[in-house]
Amino acid sequence: MSDELQARIAEAIANPRNLGEMQEADAVGTVGSADCGDMLRMWVKFREQDGRKVIDRATFQTFGCETAIAVASVATELISGKTVEEALSLSGEELAAPLGALPPMKIHCAQLVEGALRSALVPGEEAPAPAPQAAPTLLEQLQAGTAADAGGAPRARIVLKPRP
Ligand code: FES
């Protein structure tokens, strides 16, 4: 990994944008990686702009590596103001573009962000935001082993394990 990329990731980790649950979200998506055990959830709020429905803002929570956190941070800024179609057209690498090119071993970290975004935005997978205080947190779901996507179906078997 280049020094420049490492510096940008460190900067994003030190000051992550749009981190945390969004109570008033219009859509929520969760995805987990069976490969590394990491997990990411994204909340999206829409607004009308010039007769189009665009993403007003997005937030995230993750049990993921630093790269996933950094990509989610820049991606939530990148998709603001985009339509659903425009956001869905972005690959994981494009969502990570503000950080610079990721090494091959870190591409899946960006794909985790892309997956959570798709889970939130793909028709049929949209779901109303959980009621404030009523919904379990991502941590509670992980601890209970009930983490699922917006449609209620398990996205992946989540295996939490210490990272080397
Ligand atoms: Fe699993 Fe980065 S998302 S190692």
Say if 146 falls within a structural domain: no
With 0-12 / 13-18 / 19 or more C-beta atoms within 10 angstroms meaning exposed / middle / buried, residue 66 is middle
As given in the structure block, the two tokens for residue 46 are 């829409």
Say if 15 falls within a structural domain: yes
Say if 151 falls within a structural domain: no
Q: Given this model, what pLDDT does residue 135 score?
A: 55
How far apart CA 25 and CA 41 sit, in angstroms, is 12
Say if 156 falls within a structural domain: no
What is the DSSP-derived secondary structure letter of residue 83? B
Reported as a pLDDT band with limits 50, 70 and 90, residue 161 is very low
Ligand 1 atom closest to 67 (CA): 2
Q: Given this model, what pLDDT does residue 156 score?
A: 42
Say if 150 falls within a structural domain: no
Q: Given this model, what pLDDT does residue 36 score?
A: 87
Residue 38, ligand 1, Cβ within 6 A:
yes
Q: What is the residue with the minimal CA distance to atom 4 of ligand 1?
A: 65
Residues in the chain: 164
Say if 147 falls within a structural domain: no
The residue segments making up the domain with residue 38 are: 3-124
Residue 123: enclosing H or E segment and its boundaries?
Answer: none
Of 7-16, 70-79, 131-140, the one with minimum mean pLDDT is 131-140
pLDDT digits (tens, 9 = 90+) for 13-72: 999 999 999 999 999 999 998 778 999 999 999 999 999 999 999 999 999 899 999 999
How wide is the angle at C-alpha 139 spanned by C-alphas 109 and 41, nearest 5°? 40
Say if 78 falls within a structural domain: yes
In DSSP terms, 44 is beta-bridged to: 27, 58
Q: What is the CATH classification number for the domain harbouring 95?
A: 3.90.1010.10
Select from 41, 48, 5, 12 the least CA-distant residue to 116: 41
pLDDT digits (tens, 9 = 90+) for 71-110: 999 999 999 999 999 999 999 999 999 999 999 999 999 9
Q: Residue range 119-148: average pLDDT?
A: 58
